[in-house]
Structure 1
Amino acid sequence: MFSADEPLFWAERKAEHYSVFKEGSVVCFQENRLSGSRKVGIVVALLFAFLPVVFSIVMIVDASEQDTVPFQNEEEGCGDGWIESGDLLPGKLYCVPPTGPEIISLDSLEVSDDQHIRETSEGDVFEYRWEAVDDYLVFGSIIDGEYECMTLLPQDNLDDEWTYADLSIRVGQYNPDWCGSAVGESSRNYSADEPHPYDGIWLYDVEYGDPMNRLVMIKFDGLDVLIQDGESEAYMRSGGDFYEPEGTPLGMLCITLPISLLFLAGADPRKRALYLDVDAGKMVRRRVGRWPSFQTTWEDVDFSSASLNRTVRIQEHVEHDESGPGRRWTTQHPGFDLLISRKNGPLVPVFFEDGGDLTLHESTILAILNGLNVGEEPYRLHLEEPPEKQPAIQEASPAQVDDEGANAPVGTSMGGDSGAFWNIEGDKNP
């Protein structure tokens, strides 16, 4: 059969590039060497990272050599168009717009019995999950089928001995395990009879920015969402993060540094690995090494369902030609899909490409199956299968097509609504 489900790993026809080991109930499948495409990607990412990294260094060095002082607004207080307010943070004054908080009106707000909330506004539907962790509140917006989380601090949980450290935490510090995981497909019972669980309570955004200079807060009031943005008087008088024209605009670092880090993350040469925790029913994909790395976690995995599916994967290639029509061709890659069931559908953790040699990845496949306690039978059955029942291996010939008519490569996209429309991430300071 032909498969379009995207695997988490594509094991190439080089069995020595992969290994399996087991620690307790955790089975680890990892790369031993980087593939050719990974090496090319690392070089490209480093080339793209070079310019913003150099630009950031030049700005920092230039700013350290400047004798200029930050631009100061000569006006006292908040200045024109702003008023002082002591309601944002106990004992502190912030400058806020005289018109009050920005208000976004919902068409409906529904609460489920499993800590999910669904909002509609102008025909759009937004859904997110919530959980209280210590004194904080985590919202997980459903984006592309996964929970993307942000952390807030209810104003009611700010005690009399609060410090600015309470309002400025590390990103993801209080994230529950479900943050970053896929969303279950089970239906939920929503009710419009219940108010928002934090209705009427101001919530501080605590993961981004500097609370000494700027606060961003939201509050749910019935079907209204209020967003309040306040800045300290000192921050207002300094004109923000920018020097006078003859100085260096340090605010540009808020653009160049994230871009640099993004490309450098793409150039991470560490090898990738899958960790299959049989007892916990959890699978984690991340890079190997002691330093932190981005990771993706899948919960509710039934490892006892592990099986092998003989399949042929199709890759489509397009070669562009400025002088004429482009050239398109497809290639077919036979191999084994490792299939594992989970709560909201099957996963393909690894595709073992073998070019028709069913025993090419035998030792790796058997190590995984034995580590998952399912035995070798799912693999041995394919070796005993008559050749006529195995998928035919064909190679498509190149075809002449217009560039605009070239079809997209076979693939599967993860669907999902985009979280809450009131998400204040776009206004956050880096």
Structure 2
Amino acid sequence: MTTPTLPRLAGALVLASLLAMPRQGRAQVVSAAATPPVTALRFGAMADPSGRTTKNVTILVQADTVLRVGTGTAMIPKGATVVDLRRYTAIPGLIDVHTHMTFVRDKATPLASGPRSRDSVIAAAATNLRRTLETGVTTVRDLGASNYADIGLRDAVNSGAMIGPRMFVAGYGLSKLTTPAVAGQPSLAARGRVRDTMEIKEAIRAQVDAGADWIKMYGSTGTYANVTGVQTFTDVEMRVAVETAHRLKRPIAIHSYGDSGGRAALHAGAESVEHPAGFDDATLAVWAKRGTMYVPTIDHNRFYAENAALLGYSRDQVAGLDSFRLLNLDTARRAHAAGVRFAMGSDAVYWMFGENTRELGWFVNAGMTPAQALATATTNGALLLGQPTKLGRIAAGYYADIVAVEGDPLADIAVILERVRWVMKGGAVVVDKR
């Protein structure tokens, strides 16, 4: 006869005790054992994207969710773990709606050194994930990657295999091929390279089948040092893309540096338009009524200009980047005055991760208050992602995405840019620099 081990014996005794209990008492014990513990976070203040500050805040967190928000200590339940963060102000976890997490390169090897495998890209992207979390960004929308590396990265984060922000991804972005098809040559639509409306539909379905949350379309030229903004897809083709994405229950973001492509994207019904500059006031007035999100990504051209030597850009290219950035800022200023809704997107690549929130400084330069800038990276981002009741606020029932900053972010936006000290994502502490 085998002698039971201590854990097995203990388990048997617990089971016997439960079976001997009345049914009601047994249910209470099982329920208590299954209930996750509560953590009480005490903050000196909490800044809301609406512009309100609350002092002496306590936030109760259970598992990945905010249980309750109040003031003082009376609400803290017996047995809760208390974390003292009273030196800091709480803000919601931030949302960056335009990143390229799988674009991996560092300053030591800034120029491309040949293709990398999907698995090696995913592994190397761990640095980008970490640096993004350190800025207080706990959710990103990632707009374009090769080999579906973004989908693999999202799934690795969701499974707990990697630590990073929550990800909404797009797979391959759709780009326009101008060369004619060659007989017998396979279609490149699954990789986002399309010639006509039939291939647009094929490409979008391929991204959805691969697991993409969003569809991305490159509606104009312009990227890296190129700021030309020539419309690439016709107005009709953009409408077909939007209709196809929506029929497959996916939102779509359309890239356009130029005003004509941006107007076409707006009228086609895209959920967001990325980068555009140079709109006239009449277009901005229409935009404000439609509610389409404007993601200007002003700061990424600053990054390219400042790192021109490492990236191999010429003096003329830097001048073009600087000129476009001024146009971008002017458009953002007029768009804000017109009532256009903004979402913060960094368009971060390479070693720009860790600078994700610098876009907020440009928004303040464009006329926003710090609270309005904070809203672009919280409530507006959550609305764009279709998560307005789970992301973007610190409130009961929302994900426990909480950032501790040193100072008053509603008085000085630099507090968010420079003084993030502690970050919780989904109830887990992922950054602690206290």
The one of the two structures with greater contact order (alpha-carbon pairs below 8 A, sep at least 6) is 1
| More helix by percentage | 2
Give TM class, smaller chain.
under 0.3
- Structure-2-length-normalised TM-score: 0.18
| More strand by percentage | 1
